[in-house]
Structures are given as structure tokens and as C-alpha cells.
Amino acid sequence: MSNLIEHIKQSIIEGDEQMAEERVRQALEANIDPLQILDEALSAGADIVGERFENGEYYLPELMMTGRALKTAMELIRPAMLKKATDERGQAKAKIVIATVQTDIHDIGKNVVASMLTGAGFDVVDIGVDVPLHTIISKAEETKADIIALSALLTTSMPYMQDLIDLLEARSLRSRYKVIVGGASVTPEWAASIGSDGTGKDAVEAVRLVRRLTETL
């Protein structure tokens, strides 16, 4: 089993979409927990590719190939993850608007978070990537959302999360929404420092956080 996890991780590192697809199918057939596939194979592989990109060992084409392999793998594990989230479904019913903030087009992690929240019984409105702050707020207003969930992977995009919170405050809307933030470089300390209502390191933590925040709704 650990061999399969290792193979999936390797296929992500090599950006081998076909191999990733094959191995993930095998892992699911072997009843390996989809969250273990996500954490130990997909995210772990993505981290290594990220490091190699940073070191100048990999270039944009490699990053793109890994992105494709990750997307395909994620589509395969999504139903299994949804089933898991549905099994753990709580009572909470809340509306969540989720987006990757302006200037950032990374959506693989956001999509997983959106899927898991949907599976957990929440009403999720996914408004995509590179979304301007004003659009996020208008959508939250229009849909009468309870929670605004923001994703950013670029450190240069993360400050927009703070800007959104400031904008809500300036418009006297801050108390109407819980704002949660996430992405590879977001830490709990940073999330607290910008005045958000919390973060989670992965989709499972995101669901737990939303459950906790909506207990009182």
C-alpha cells in the first residue's frame, strides 16, 4: 500500500498524468483512504515540485504538467472524498462563497475544499479564480452567504485576503460574515493576524472549521 502511495507521489513529481490516473485508480480499488492519497501522495508530490521549481531545477512546463496530473488525480478521488464527507455530515446548514483571490489562478486546492464542504452538507457557491475583491463581496451579499472562504497560493496574492477583510470593515459588513482563509503558505498565526475567523491546512480541517463556526448560526 505504501508502495502505491509512493508511486502516485512519483507520478506527480514527474508530471505523468497517465501514470497518476492509473495509480490512483489502483489505490482506490485497494480501498486506500482518499485523504491519505491527497496528503501523502498528491500534496507531498506537489511540495517537491514546488521546491524544485523554486530551486530552478524545474521550469514552468514541469509545473504545468504536475498541475495537469494533480487535476486528473483530484477528479478521481473527489467522489470518494465526497462520500466520506457525506458520511460525516452534520446538522449545519450554511451558505459559503468560495474563491481564489485576484491575481492568483491556483484552483486545485480550492476545488477540493469546495467539494468537501458540499459533501459535508453546506451550500457552496464557487466563483472561481482570480476573483476581484468587489466581486467576492457582491456575490456574498447577493447570495446571502454566511461564510466567505478565500484561497491563495501565491504569497503576493495573500495580502488581498487582508484587503477583503478591511473592505468588509469599511463597508460595515464585517460582522455579517465569517471569513476563512487557506492555501499552502497560510499559517494559523498569519490568519489570526489579518483578523480572519480561521484557517485549515487541508480540506478536512476546512470542513471542521466551518462546522465549528456554524454551530452558533
Residues of the shown chain interacting with ligand B12 in the complex, contacts defined by CB under 6 A: 38, 42-43, 46-47, 49-51, 53-54, 60, 63-64, 66-67, 70, 103-110, 112-113, 149-151, 153-156, 180-185, 199-200, 202-203, 206
Choice between 22 and 39, CB closer to ligand B12: 39
CB of 101 to ligand B12, least distance (A): 10
DSSP string, 87-124: HT--S---EEEEEEBTT----HHHHHHHHHHHHTT-EE
CB of 65 to ligand B12, least distance (A): 8
CA–CA distances in Å: residue 139 to residues 90, 125, 147, 207? 25, 9, 11, 21
Joined grid coordinates for residue 42: 498528491
CB of 162 to ligand B12, least distance (A): 14
Pairing of strands 178-182, 147-151: parallel
State the residue for C-alpha cell 461564510: 147
Picking from 113, 2, 105, the residue whose alpha carbon sits closest to that of residue 63 is 105
Choice between 104 and 126, CB closer to ligand B12: 104
Choice between 172 and 193, CB closer to ligand B12: 193
Choice between 4 and 191, CB closer to ligand B12: 191
